[in-house]
Structure 1
């Protein structure tokens, strides 16, 4: 009888231990594609504002914002898909569309006028939406958002990022780079 009681206690203790570990392991470390995204060419998405220059065409040269559906409304050619494209790819698409009955040999260049925002949440001084600056790290974003609170886990954070149309969350060190559109969540420390 005592042996059965010990087994029951061990089973309950084991169940409690695995449940508590499951709570700690309720996240996924950032997958390889998560880190690779920071060294890939920039991909456009909703909220990016672009400076489009069409050589010798001042009426077409202007700033255009990628809308919520992922398009820019461009004169003469209408809606042009921008979401997921690199700047070079979008330049080619615009030039091709302008060639179709509008301009003989259009020379289109695009640069980012303003990147889409980042979001910093959790245990920071002022959670909210902030401007993204190329080369920004998680620590820079936390500094802009008022720094850590007294309860912050200051070792690593959860970052949510859109990669190839999928939304992925991974836990990364605060020294990691971020991308425009990322959401950073600073957790409360457990001790």
Structure 2
């Protein structure tokens, strides 16, 4: 859904109600837990957040608050949506003078103990989304080396005529989201420290 103005909460609520019973727009539901499927562009973003249990817990809390979407030009709605499978959320973004309202459903959640502690979730696209695919947001704490990382893995392809026509801009926007998302999570646990290198790969 596209609009010149930011959609008000009532409009977003109606939009999500209409999407709630719709199917995913791709077949490989849950593939971010293993390997992205063929026919999609896969992107990965990683940034080191720090070390230890306190950083890990703070970063997990940031994901629960959807801090990775508090970017000024992108936000998730509702902002307090619980991170649980089946939940439907909207992702709003502003680009080329328009507000783009997109619908997603949470596919799975991650909460793993062990030598590498992991917490996060993935969502997949519904018909009311200009892209088709899945995105996973993960906090990892390798207890061996003690490092804590924020990791985003996504696969996507266009699902709207405008995203097909403007695909180079779409790709730049996707990369920007990865960088800005990494910076937002880093700042949530390191308010004053300089942001370290953000690693991004495609393939």
Q: In which range does the TM-score fall when normalised by the shorter chain?
A: under 0.3
Q: Larger radius of gyration, structure 1 or 2? A: 1
Normalised by the size of structure 2, how large is the TM-score? 0.23
| Structure with larger RCO (C-alpha < 8 A, sep 6+) | 2
Point out the structure with the larger strand share. Answer: 2
